Homo-oligomer: A and B are copies of this chain.
């Protein structure tokens, strides 16, 4: 537990020292969302119909791209080797890393999402669901994406290989996340859908970190 706390502190510090890593996913999220009114049409009704999908796809891409470098610098600088030879199971520092990453990059997306939902003409009643669905969904996206990041660390291929590995795995979360927002915008009850999202999150939290550690070990040559 001490190790976990030290690791969490260190991860937060590392992210904090390079604020770009925190700000950029947020900017990316906002920018991608603002591309759509330009590319599709600024008509309010149309925007409102596509808004759930646009919000969720943008969030998904932002999370995914933010994960590209999750382990890269630790690997290049040799910290990853240190972590894998240390006398702690790698799940501990991995969990710390995932938590820190989500807190500083995922959570801001969640917090800003109602504003963007409003800009995309979603009814006010749906904005709570926007937040809630992202609150449940983005940690799952972070963990699943981290599996891909672990498997590709050291290959130095950039985000696009990660995307090819990870996007298909994101689809269930996307469907239920966007589905919840659509349902809320249509005035329907969203409890059931959010429960499914919660179940997906529970599944990823329980198995994901193990898969991430296994991926890191494989990447290092095991």
Contacts from A to B (Cβ < 8 Å): 20-21, 24-25, 27-28, 31-32, 35-36, 38-41, 46, 49-50, 52-54, 56-57, 60-62, 65-66, 68-69, 72-73, 76, 156-161, 163-164, 167-168, 171, 174-175, 178, 182
Contact = CB atoms under 8 A, between A and B. Distances in A.
Mostly, the A contact residues are helix
Given A39-B56, A65-B163, 8 more contacts: A20-B161, A31-B167, A35-B167, A40-B50, A40-B52, A40-B178, A65-B160, A159-B159
Contact of A38 (B27, B76, B171): B171
Nearest to A182: B41
B39 A163 contact: no
A62 B167 CA distance: 13
Contacts of A56: 39
A157 B38 contact: no
Copies held by the complex: 2
B157 A28 contact: no
A40 B36 contact: no
A42 to B, nearest CB: 11
Contact of A32 (B39, B159, B167, B182): B167
B164 A27 contact: yes
Contacts of A54: 39-40
A115 B61 CA distance: 23
Contact of A35 (B27, B50, B171): B171
Given A38-B171, A164-B24, A174-B39, A158 B32 contact: no
